[in-house]
Amino acid sequence: MTRRGWYRYIDGTLITDFGYFLKYLYEYYRGERTRPADVCTMLLVAAKCLGGCMWLLPILTFTWIMSWCFVTYGIAVANNHTFPDFPYISYTAVEPPEQGIFTITIAIGAVFLAANAEMQYLFIKKLLIHHHPVESFNLKRWTIINKVGLSLGMLSGLGLLFVACFQVDTMKPPHYLGAFMCFGCAMFYAWLQTAITFKIEQFDVIREHRSRHFRITKICQTISSILSSLLFVTFAVSKYKYNSGRDAGLGTKWDTLRTVFLVSTISEWLLTFSVTLFLLTFIPGFRMFSHTHINIDFNPSHFENGEVVVPLDDFGKTSINGEDVINTPANDDPNT
C-alpha cells in the first residue's frame, strides 16, 4: 500500500468501518444485539475495519486486555477496594466503578480474542487449501486440526466473557468455569497452533517469503506454550491448596497461607500475560493478508426451475448452475 493509499484508507474506509464497529458495540452493550448472529456480525465488521492491517489485531488484543487489567487494579487500590500486594485479577473488579469498567473492557477483549482465533483459522485454511504440498500430505487431518483449534480459541474467548460478566464475589461457579475455560482452552490452543506452525513452515509459500519469520514464530510459540502449561498447573494447584487450607481453618492469606496465596495470584497474572502474549506470534501470518472479504450465500428462494441463479456480479455475469453467463443490457431499439 502506497503512502497516498494509506492516508486515503485512514481517512475513508478505516474510519467508516470503525464507526460501524462502535455502533454495533454500543447496541450490544445496550442489549439490542444479543443473538450469536449479531456477535458474528460484530466480529466481521471488526475484521473489515482492519482489512489489510489485520496484523494490528494481535497487538490491539494484547495491549487492550493487559492494560485494562492494570487500570482496574489501579482504580481498586486507589479507592481502597483491594490490597496492593498481588490480589487475584478478579478481585480488582469487585466494587464500582472498577467493576463496570472491568466487565465492559474484558468483554470487548473476549471479542478480540475470538476474532484472533477466527482470523488464524482462516489464514491456516487458506494455506491448507491452496498451498499444501501435493505429495504425502493429509489435508483432511490438518483441516480437522485447524477446526479444533478454532473451537478451542472460541471457547477460550467465551470463558473470558464469563469471567467478565459473572463477578467472583457473587457468582463463583460460572466465574470459575469461565476462568478454567479461558486458561485451559488457551493452553491447548497454544500447543495446537505450535504444531500447525511446525507443519506449515514446510510449505513452499512460507519458505519463499516468510521462512525467517516463521522460524522465529515456531521458537516463540514453543516457549510460550511451555510457560503457559507450567503456569496453568502452578496456578491450579496453588489455588486449590489455598482454598482448601483456608476452608479447613489452617490460616489466611496474611499468615500461614501467605506463600501459597502469593504463588497463586502471581501465577495467575503471569498466565494471563503469557496467554495474551502468545497472540503476538500471529503477526507474521497476518502480515500476509492483503485484504479481507465478507462472503454471502443466497437462500433457496433464489432457485428457479431447478437452477441456482446468482445475481449479476461487478463484471456483468450471472452464474447458473455454476456456469458463468455473460449478460448484455436489454435494448428494444435495434438502431441504437
CB 227 within 8 A of CB 267: no
> With 50 as the cut, is the pLDDT of residue 14 above it?
no
Q: What is the mean pLDDT of the chain?
A: 79
CB 281 within 8 A of CB 245: no
Task: Say which residues have a Cβ less than 8 Å from residue 154's Cβ, sequence separation at least 6.
Answer: 114, 117, 118
Greater confidence (186 vs 312) lies with: 186
Predicted pLDDT of residue 318: 47
b/e code 170-198 from CB counts within 10 Å (16+ = b): eeeeebbebbebbbbbbbbbbbbbbbbbe
Q: How far apart are CA 41 and CA 21, in angstroms?
A: 9
> With 50 as the cut, is the pLDDT of residue 231 above it?
yes
Q: How confident is the model at residue 307 (pLDDT cuts 50, 70, 90)?
A: low
Q: How many Cα atoms are found within 13 Å in the side-chain-facing hemisphere of 163?
A: 29
> With 80 as the cut, is the pLDDT of residue 210 above it?
no
What does the pLDDT look like over 18-39, one tens digit per residue?
555 556 556 655 666 555 445 5
Predicted pLDDT of residue 1: 44
> With 90 as the cut, is the pLDDT of residue 333 above it?
no
Predicted pLDDT of residue 131: 72
Predicted pLDDT of residue 190: 96
State whether residue 80 is helix, strand or coil: coil
pTM, two decimal places: 0.74
DSSP 54: T
Whole-Å CA distances, 287 to 120, 190, 213, 283: 12, 20, 11, 6
Partners of 308 in the β-ladder: 303
Q: How far apart are CA 16 and CA 24, in angstroms?
A: 13
Sequence-ordered strand ranges (E) for the chain: 303-304, 307-310, 317-320, 323-326
Question: Which single residue is written with the C-alpha cell 482504580?
Answer: 75
Q: What DSSP letter does each residue of 122-171 carry, written as one string?
A: HHHHHHHHHHS-SSS--HHHHHHHHHHHHHHHHHHHHHHHHHHHS-TTT-
What does the pLDDT look like over 41-93, one tens digit per residue?
555 555 555 556 788 899 999 999 999 999 999 999 999 999 888 899 999 98
Smallest Cα–Cα separation from 180: which of 236, 116, 124, 227?
A: 236
What does the pLDDT look like over 153-182, one tens digit per residue?
999 999 999 999 998 888 889 999 999 999
| Distance from the first to the final alpha carbon of the chain | 43
Percent of the chain whose predicted confidence (pLDDT) is above 70: 69
Predicted pLDDT of residue 139: 83
What does the pLDDT look like over 243-284, one tens digit per residue?
999 988 888 889 999 999 999 999 999 999 999 999 999 998
Q: How far apart are CA 148 and CA 24, in angstroms?
A: 28
Q: Return the amino acid letter for 13.
A: T
Residue 157, Cβ density class (10 Å: 0-12 exposed, 13-18 middle, ≥19 buried): buried
Question: Which single residue is written with the C-alpha cell 473470558?
Answer: 160
Smallest Cα–Cα separation from 58: which of 18, 127, 118, 9?
A: 118
Q: How confident is the model at residue 3 (pLDDT cuts 50, 70, 90)?
A: very low
CB 228 within 8 A of CB 274: yes
